Amino acid sequence: MAEQPLMPREQDLPLFVDLYELAMAQAYWRSGMDGEAVFSLFFRKLPEHRNFILACGQQQVARVIQSLRFTDDHIHRLRQLERFDDRFLDWLRHWRFTGSVQAVPEGTPVFPQEPLLEVRAPVIEAQILESLVMNYVHLESTLASKAVRHVLAAEGRPVVDFGMRRMHGLDSAWRGVRAYRIAGLAGTSNIQAGLDFGLPVKGTMAHSFVQACEDEMAAFRLYAELYPGTTLLVDTYDTQGAVRNIIRWLRENPEVDIGGIRLDSGNLGDEARACRRLLDEAGLDRIRIMASGGLDEYQIEALVSSGAPIDGFGVGTAIGVANDAPAIELAYKLTAYGGEPRMKKSTGKRSWPCPKQVFRQLDANGHMQGDLIAEAHEQGDGTPLLQPLMADGRLVEGAIASLEDQVTHARESVAALPPEQKRLAPAREAYPVRFSESLKQQQVRTLERIAHLQEWHYSDQDE
Amino acid sequence: MAEQPLMPREQDLPLFVDLYELAMAQAYWRSGMDGEAVFSLFFRKLPEHRNFILACGQQQVARVIQSLRFTDDHIHRLRQLERFDDRFLDWLRHWRFTGSVQAVPEGTPVFPQEPLLEVRAPVIEAQILESLVMNYVHLESTLASKAVRHVLAAEGRPVVDFGMRRMHGLDSAWRGVRAYRIAGLAGTSNIQAGLDFGLPVKGTMAHSFVQACEDEMAAFRLYAELYPGTTLLVDTYDTQGAVRNIIRWLRENPEVDIGGIRLDSGNLGDEARACRRLLDEAGLDRIRIMASGGLDEYQIEALVSSGAPIDGFGVGTAIGVANDAPAIELAYKLTAYGGEPRMKKSTGKRSWPCPKQVFRQLDANGHMQGDLIAEAHEQGDGTPLLQPLMADGRLVEGAIASLEDQVTHARESVAALPPEQKRLAPAREAYPVRFSESLKQQQVRTLERIAHLQEWHYSDQDE
């Protein structure tokens, strides 16, 4: 095999497609099925312990969709699969997406059965997008939904991403930081992603640095000289011993500028209280205490509610892989074809037909009261969540919001959640999501019709 | 902010670094600390429910390390962080890795405290690599370790990857397929990755295709015509109804070539038995039954042990995100500096000092009997697992194995595991891993020495 690149490349995007999508595309092409399809991206149920999903990644995937072109190189590779007719490959070579996409704004809390995004296009085009649409929105929504729980638990204290090392590859480590910014994180250790997505880049020192230096204080002195206001990692050998050394040093060298200390092991609440007391007694109340080391939202909540004097949190693995819910049951399903509602009735996976709109009702104070999932053409009370993102295969002018605006939107939207949904624990009452009467009737009618679509074959005959 | 690329790029690799690594690098540079460091990549404990980790990704990261160069563009971006001295950035501009790397072969089962990889280089160089080394090896080891459990559970039946849609980004969806191939999967739905890594590309149809077609049989007829030997998805409306229709159709059209059916919902064991009976009664025992739909290794094991007539499995989310253990507690720790052993003694995170070798003892039948973790210079009984991968900053000639050889190595290595470790359930007895006497003494001696490294500051004085 030829030497591979070290990472997948943007130019490879069109072939990040599941074989069955192109197999179906060829079948549609061959049979002349060019009716308009509507596909809906939604999830069937919330992950256990979650009260909402923060939708994220829709703009990114719209940009991907707009960019998709099969080049001669792609066609050449597809030919190797010995599945595709040359005329179909020729059609694919000249294809570009011509449909429309609507989506909820990034940073919007969403609930089961609510479309995060809908694609409306000739069926062959909408089908080709399945895996890419899911991969893009799934990743960012998964990571943003986990990160925002840490932001809620920290009650205003900054939460910084330290997760790159255990995130699933560099695309995740990159787009994840975009999702973290939307979710409200205060910084990241990841230089590339932080610079690309405008999230402040943060970092202190590792234990290895303290271990390599002649002794712990030599390490601290070197950092203080290079990085005024730095945060010192104090748990390499003995946490309170390190803090006593720092206090003596600062007493003798009042010009030294230390901004904080970081605790990374042990009982963080106890250690923080002990260190805070030592620092305060020495008049060093200006020195802040950061905590890290296998933290998740539950530990942050426990530390905050116990009054531990911790001023900020560094979080790695928990947000990096969304460890308790690394996947959302996101699905991309056909809801209409040729103007007719469609659905599947597979056991346990019955879906809702029809293009949709979601109306979110807010009270006078802007708090969320409930959502109504309706047919797309219906009028409902409240704010319609799905907004045009692409039309005629192109991004709608003005539909791409700045990351800054998305951060604001996410903050306000999360603030508007009912208190039950903002808790880390499972809500005692699910957020109210209703279906419109018209949509319910469509589901009944569609079920009747699709029963017929299979049964006539064997029941109308002598089986 | 300028328009972003749609994916991170290979040229961005050097800036996928945590800020603290470059901050420490500058501190080493400034203070003239250029002693040789040894960093070890290992995990402290197995994820719950796991009996081994299948090491994977070491060759990929060696290629990454060899490629690393900071260009003018990188330097320009680093300057924006306002942390780095121009002379340090100039040094970085001309840096390339000059050290050595040893690693266990990819596809080797490993256990807690065993190095998967060791970097030996001037401390500044080894430190810069931390996040990239971890990210590369963590991703592939996480996914391979999960996938191999499915292969074990399927007892020889093919397992195919359907996971791209819910994998964490496209780097994961790409390198994951490499890891799946090493772990013994039989195919993938992902065209790009399957072609790049030589894993057969597989796929059938989605429910949407059946729903969009005039009726279910129209969908089946179209596929049979286009793809002789195809597998038909039969659960869109009513599974056994679909199978009855297929039987009637094949009776009337014996020339039609259907290779299999796929079940994707319901009780897969019951459905498979019912479908198998219908097919066999119709003389269609040649038609194979594939199962998919939220499967994991436990469900596969239950289906196989119950004798369900399923010939192959498609697995998505479970392997795509390693849903029960999406992260391994992989750590990259300093074990020696300037020829002296180093370790940390942080609460709960005490590490083992010294460069190491792992000796694996096999019995006469090639079955694993136990491992010995020793100092690198020691001689031990058994096969030394750590092998040279890079020397003087370059890949060692012949150290990069072909993927085919890695697949074979992994299959043989996994076959050599004790039966307890091959089970899905937690092993009643941990695999025996011992530390050499010399290494134990080094840990004691190093602990004594590092206690001193901190305490003299405050205990030798009047504190």
Residues of chain A with pLDDT under 50: 1, 456-463
Select from B53, B63, B144 the least CA-distant residue to B406.
B144
Q: Which of residues 251-290 of B touch A (CB under 8 A)?
A: 264-266
Which residue in B81, B215, B347 is closest to A265 by CB distance? B347
Is B245 in the A-facing interface, judged by CB distances under 8 Å? Answer: yes
CB A142 to CB B33 under 8 A? no
Give pLDDT, residue B349: 67
Task: Classify residue B402 as exposed, middle or buried by CB count within 10 Å of its CB (0-12, 13-18, 19+).
Answer: exposed
**What was the pLDDT predicted at A350?**
73
* Contact (CB<8Å) B333/A198: no
DSSP letter assigned to residue A350 = -
Q: How far apart are the first and last CA of chain A?
A: 53
The complex scores an ipTM of 0.96
Q: What backbone torsions phi and psi does residue B321 show, to the nearest 5 degrees?
A: -120, 5
At residue A447, the pLDDT reads 87
Q: Would you call B18 and A191 a contact, using CB atoms and an 8 Å cutoff?
A: yes
Closest CB to B13: pick one of A6, A64, A195: A6
Question: Angle at Cα A135 formed by Cα A132 and Cα A139, nearest 5°?
Answer: 150
Are B245 and A458 inside 8 Å of each other by CB? yes
Rounded-to-integer distance, Cα A359 and Cα A373, Å: 6
Report d(CA B319, CA B298) in Å as an integer: 12
Q: What region, left, alpha or beta, does residue A441 occupy, with left being phi > 0 and alpha being psi -120 to 50 degrees?
A: alpha
Q: Which domains does chain A have, with CATH numbers?
A: 10-143+325-459 (3.20.140.10), 204-291 (3.20.20.70)
Choice between A456 and B254, residue whose per-residue pLDDT is larger: B254
Of the partner residues B60, B211, B264, the one whose CB lies closest to the CB of residue A342: B211
Is A118 exposed, middle or buried, given 0-12, 13-18 or 19+ CB atoms closer than 10 A? buried
pLDDT of residue A293: 94
- How far is it, in rounded angstroms, from Cα B177 to Cα A86? 28
Test B453 with A30 for CB contact under 8 angstroms: no
Query: For the whole model, what pTM was predicted?
Result: 0.96
Q: Is A89 on the interface with B (CB under 8 A)?
A: no
pLDDT at B455: 57
pLDDT in tens, B258-314: 999 999 999 999 999 999 999 999 999 999 999 999 999 999 999 999 999 999 999
pLDDT score of A450: 75
B462 CA to centre of own chain: 53
- Cα angle B186, B190, B194; round to 5: 55
The CA-atom distances, in angstroms, between A218 and each of A210, B7, B321 are 8, 41, 42
CB-based contact B332 A165, cutoff 8 Å: yes
Indicate the pLDDT class of residue B348, thresholds 50, 70 and 90.
low
User: Measured between alpha carbons, how far is residue B77 from residues A455, B30, B32, B463 in Å?
Assistant: 64, 21, 25, 45
What's the pLDDT score for residue A454?
Answer: 67
pLDDT band at B344 (very low <50, low <70, confident <90, very high): confident
Contact between residue B391 and residue B412 where contact means Cβ atoms under 8 Å apart: no
Give the helix/strand (H/E) hosting A174.
Answer: helix A169-183
The confidence band for B460, taking pLDDT boundaries of 50, 70 and 90, is: very low
Chain A residues inside the 8 Å CB shell of B28: 209, 212
> Is-contact B283 B295, C-beta < 8 A?
no
Residues with Cβ < 8 Å from B139, sequence gap 6 or more? A168, A169, B57, B171, B172, B175, B176, B179
Q: Do B127 and A169 touch (CB under 8 A)?
A: no
pLDDT in tens, B83-122: 999 999 999 999 999 999 999 999 999 999 999 999 999 9
* Confidence grade of residue B347 (pLDDT, cut at 50, 70, 90): low
Q: Which residues pair with B100 in a beta bridge?
A: B120
Q: Is A376 on the interface with B (CB under 8 A)?
A: no
Kindly state whether A175 is in contact with chain B, defined as any CB-CB distance less than 8 angstroms.
yes
* 3 state SS of A425: coil
Whole-Å CA distances, B235 to A415, A420, B188, B296: 42, 38, 21, 19
pLDDT of residue A1: 45
**If we measure between CA atoms, which residue out of A17, A6, A9 comes closest to residue A65?**
A17
**A83: which chain B residues are within 8 Å (Cβ-Cβ)?**
227
- Contact by Cβ (8 Å): A110, A104: yes
pLDDT tens column, A351-397 = 899 999 999 999 999 999 999 999 999 999 999 999 999 999 999 99
Contact by Cβ (8 Å): A396, A409 = no
Residues from chain A that touch B244, judged by Cβ atoms under 8 A, are 458, 463
State residue B461's pLDDT score.
39
- Which three-class secondary structure string do you get for A361-396? EECCCCCEEEEEEEECCCCCCCEECCEEEEECCEEC
- Give percent of chain B with pLDDT exceeding 90: 91
* Partners of residue A54 on adjacent β-strands: A109
Contacts of A461 in chain B (CB under 8 A): 248
Contacts of B402 in chain A (CB under 8 A): 1
* Whole-Å CA distances, A228 to A196, A220, A236, A317: 25, 11, 21, 29
User: What's the confidence (pLDDT) of residue A459?
Assistant: 42
Please state, as a whole number, how many other Cβ atoms lie within 10 Å of the Cβ of residue B270. Answer: 13
Q: How open is the CA angle A254-A255-A260, to the nearest 5 degrees?
A: 80
Dihedral sign computed on CA atoms, order B53, B57, B58, B64: negative
Which of B1, B3, B4, B6 best probes binding to A when mutated, by most A CB atoms within 10 angstroms? Answer: B6
Contact A213 B461 (CB under 8 A): no
Is A71's Cβ below 8 Å from some Cβ in B?
A: no
From CA B241, how far away is CA B234, in angstroms rounded?
9
CA distance A68 to A229: 47
In A200-229, which positions are buried (b, 16+ CB within 10 angstroms) versus exposed (e)? Answer: ebbbbbbbbbbbbbebbbebbbbbbebbee
Residue B447 confidence (pLDDT): 86
Which of the residues A167, A168, A220 would you substitute to probe the B interface, choosing the one with the greatest number of B C-beta atoms within 10 Å? Answer: A168
- Which residues in chain A have their CB less than 8 angstroms from residue B138's CB? 165-166
Instruction: Encode pLDDT of B363-399 as tens digits.
Output: 999 999 999 999 999 999 999 999 999 999 999 999 9
Q: Is B428 on the interface with A (CB under 8 A)?
A: no
How many CB pairs lie under 8 A apart between chains A and B? 430
* Closest by CA position to B166, among listed B10, B296, B297: B296
Instruction: Give the closest residue to A424 by CA, choosing from A112, A157, A47.
Output: A47
CB contact under 8 A, A215 and B457: yes
Q: What is the mean pLDDT of residues B413-433?
A: 96
How many CB atoms lie under 10 A from the CB of residue B318?
23
Q: Which chain A positions have a beta carbon within 8 Å of B83's beta carbon?
A: 227
Q: How far is B284 from chain A (nearest CA, A)?
A: 17
Q: Which long-range contacts (CB under 8 A, 24 or more apart) does A440-444 make?
A: A442/A341, A442/A353, A442/A354, A442/A375, A443/A343, A443/A352, A443/A353
Task: Tell me the CA distances in angstroms from B52 to A273, B139, B424, one per residue in order.
Answer: 39, 15, 10
pLDDT on residue A351: 81
Q: Do B451 and A202 touch (CB under 8 A)?
A: no
